[in-house]
């Protein structure tokens, strides 16, 4: 995982919008969130998380076949954030694309990558959830400004003969609720409106109907986890930890009541990071592993929900080792990865220099670099 250093506390927010720490903590469970600095972006946070995931898995960038970045705040419309990260890693044999399923995106991404591995078409996938949500917030809207934060998390998935990994998944969407949680952007039919807004929603800014999203979330979490458990032929008693999307502590508590389990079975770190959308599950997973709450052989579940509306649940048997065990040794591979990152930076520079040199040569040698039409004209 990777989060920005800058902390935005509830007290800081009191100076921006009419709210207070007590209300935010009581209604959401959030105390603070991280906010990206000027030189940080979705791709740079995603890259840092990806590099750490490669260290933990001890995988070289050239071994990656596929990079999926789940995000609602991509660096560009295109090139994809995944392609930027592919280049910075030096993952020269990887395909790369961004996936848009809002806060469910990470679970969707893990499912897509798992299916690609199981089909035999790839061996190794890097799935990243990365967001700079604070850049799409309307800071006048206290219903959303208090909820979201920035960050990234990543996992490496690898084909293995060890039984386990993803046991089942349930992916769902109900587009009829799309207007409850949205960020209108360049393809919107209302882009050319004089007031630059659509249905009263500001262009490129998040709009949310909080109470409706709250009701939707509490309904689908329990339902979809139960469906994923049935598919995996397991019961809730077989699950040692549920890593949910970190949106609101009250949503998690309601889901625990619906599933008739203790709230402690849910991993929660939203007090420190708020809602980081597609990044929240891998960030929470990383902290759960670091805290020794996930051990090899145990069954765990992910559940995501958000804009679309979309939701997704997944049951897994954890086969990864714990992070501390992996940190030692592997020095040579570590150095090879660092070399790959440096080389990737140089490749970009060399490409730029060769373009400049090519332009110079074309200007110096008459006839070179002209289009076929121009050449015909000269003839
Ligand atoms: N600070 C202080 N007061 C606030 C406030 C804020 N940030 N936001 C709303 N209020 C006020 C409202 O104006 C209202 O006042 P009133 O009773 O005088 O009219 C009161 O608090 C209750 O507002 P309400 O919107 O009913 O609060 P809520 O309990 O539903 O909490 C959310 C609002 C946004 C925290 C809650 O609806 C929520 O978490 N929804 C789900 C959001 C979510 O998870 N989205 C992402 C999914 S991926």
Distance spanning both ends of the chain, measured CA to CA: 61
Range from 25-34, 62-71, 171-180, 312-321 carrying the lowest mean pLDDT? 312-321
Summarised one tens digit per residue, pLDDT across range 324-363 is 555 555 789 999 999 999 999 999 899 889 999 988 888 8
**Which ligand 1 atom is the nearest neighbour of the CA of 13?**
7
- For 16-34, what is each residue's pLDDT tens digit? 999 999 999 999 999 999 9
Mutate to test the pocket of ligand 1, among 11, 181, 211, 312 (most ligand atoms within 8 A of CB): 211
Question: 367 exposed, middle or buried (CB, 10 Å; 0-12, 13-18, 19+)?
Answer: exposed
Band of pLDDT at residue 371, cut at 50, 70 and 90? low
Distance 24 CA to ligand 1 centre (A): 9
The band of 259, judged by pLDDT with boundaries at 50, 70 and 90, is very high
249-259 vs 21-28: helix axis angle to the nearest 10?
Answer: 20
Q: Which residue, judged by its Cα, is nearest atom 4 of ligand 1? A: 19
3-state secondary structure of 241: strand
CB-based contact 80:74 (threshold 8 Å):
yes
How many angstroms from the chain centroid is the CA of residue 319?
21
Q: Are 247 and 305 in contact (CB under 8 A)?
A: yes
Phi-psi region of 251 (alpha: psi -120 to 50; beta: other; left: phi over 0): alpha
Task: State the closest ligand 1 atom to the C-alpha of 211, by its place in the atom list counted from 1.
Answer: 37
> What is the reported pLDDT for 143?
95
C-alpha of residue 282 to centroid of ligand 1, in Å? 26
CA dihedral 221, 225, 226, 229 (to 10 degrees): 180
**Number of residues assigned to the chain:** 379
pLDDT of 254 over the 50 cut:
yes
* Catalytic residue list: 103, 245, 275
Ligand 1 atom nearest to CA at 306: 48
Helices 331-364, 81-89: inter-axial angle, 10-degree rounding: 110
**What local confidence, expressed as pLDDT, does residue 186 receive?**
87
Strand-pair partners of 152: 2, 130
Instruction: Quick: pLDDT tens for 197-237.
Output: 556 678 899 999 999 999 999 999 999 999 999 999 999 99
Angle between helices 42-57 and 331-364 (to 10 degrees): 140
Centre of ligand 1 to C-alpha 143, Å, is 5
**Closest among 217, 183, 225 to 310, alpha carbons compared:** 217
Other Cβ atoms closer than 10 A to 44 = 22
Q: How far is the CA of 210 from the centre of ligand 1 (A)?
A: 6
Alpha carbon of 219 to ligand 1 centroid (Å):
18
For the chain, what are the domain ranges? 7-317, 343-379
Pocket test for ligand 1, best of 27, 174, 183, 270 (most atoms within 8 A of CB): 27
pLDDT of residue 378: 45
Mean pLDDT of the chain: 92
pLDDT of residue 162: 87
Q: Specify the residue for token string 């990865």.
A: 337
Pocket of ligand 1 (CB under 6 A): 19, 23, 27-28, 103, 142-143, 146, 208, 210-211, 213-214, 217, 247-248, 251, 275, 306
CATH level 3 topology of 7-317: Peroxisomal Thiolase; Chain A, domain 1 (3.40.47)
* Residue closest to 145 by CA, chosen among 93, 210, 88, 73: 210
pLDDT number for residue 324: 54
Residue 379: its pLDDT value, please?
A: 42
Atom 40 (ligand 1): residue with closest C-alpha? 210
CA distance linking residue 367 with residue 374, whole number of Å:
9
What is the whole-number distance in angstroms between the Cα of residue 139 and the centre of ligand 1?
15
Q: Look up residue 152 and give its DSSP letter.
A: E
Q: Which of 104, 140, 143 to mutate to test the pocket of ligand 1 (most atoms within 8 A of CB)?
A: 143
């Amino acid at each position: 995982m990777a989060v920005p250093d800058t902390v935005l506390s509830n007290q800081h927010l009191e100076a921006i919008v009419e709210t207070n720490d007590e209300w935010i903590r009581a209604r959401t469970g959030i105390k603070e969130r991280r906010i990206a600095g000027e030189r940080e972006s979705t791709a740079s946070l995603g890259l840092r998380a990806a590099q750490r995931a490669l260290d933990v898995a001890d995988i070289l960038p050239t071994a990656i076949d596929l990079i999926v970045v789940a995000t609602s705040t991509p660096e560009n419309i295109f090139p994809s954030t995944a392609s930027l990260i592919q280049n910075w890693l030096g993952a020269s044999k990887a395909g790369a694309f961004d996936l848009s399923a809002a806060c469910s995106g990470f679970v969707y991404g893990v499912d897509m990558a798992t299916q690609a591995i199981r089909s035999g078409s790839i061996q190794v996938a890097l799935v990243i959830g990365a967001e700079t949500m604070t850049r799409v917030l309307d800071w006048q809207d206290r219903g959303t400004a208090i909820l979201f934060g920035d960050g990234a998390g990543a996992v490496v998935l690898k084909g293995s003969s060890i039984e386990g990994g993803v046991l089942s998944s349930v992916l769902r969407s109900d587009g009829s609720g799309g207007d409850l949680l949205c960020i209108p952007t360049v393809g919107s039919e209302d882009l050319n409106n004089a007031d630059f807004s659509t249905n009263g929603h500001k262009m490129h800014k998040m709009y949310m109907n909080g109470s409706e999203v709250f009701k939707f979330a509490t309904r689908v979490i329990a339902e979809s986890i139960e469906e994923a458990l049935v598919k995996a032929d397991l019961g809730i008693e077989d699950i040692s930890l549920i890593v949910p999307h970190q949106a609101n502590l009250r949503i998690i508590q309601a889901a625990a009541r619906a599933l008739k389990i203790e709230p402690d079975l849910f991993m929660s770190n939203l007090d420190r990071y708020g809602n980081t959308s597609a990044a929240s599950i891998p960030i929470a997973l990383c902290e759960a592993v670091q805290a020794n709450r996930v051990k090899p052989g145990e069954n765990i579940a992910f559940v995501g929900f958000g804009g679309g509306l979309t939701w997704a649940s997944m049951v897994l048997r954890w086969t990864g080792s714990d992070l501390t065990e992996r940190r030692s040794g592997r020095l040579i591979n570590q150095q090879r990865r660092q070399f790959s990152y440096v080389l990737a930076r140089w490749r970009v520079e060399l490409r730029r220099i060769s373009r400049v040199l090519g332009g110079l040569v074309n200007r110096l040698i008459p006839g070179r670099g002209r289009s076929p039409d121009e050449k015909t004209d000269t003839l």
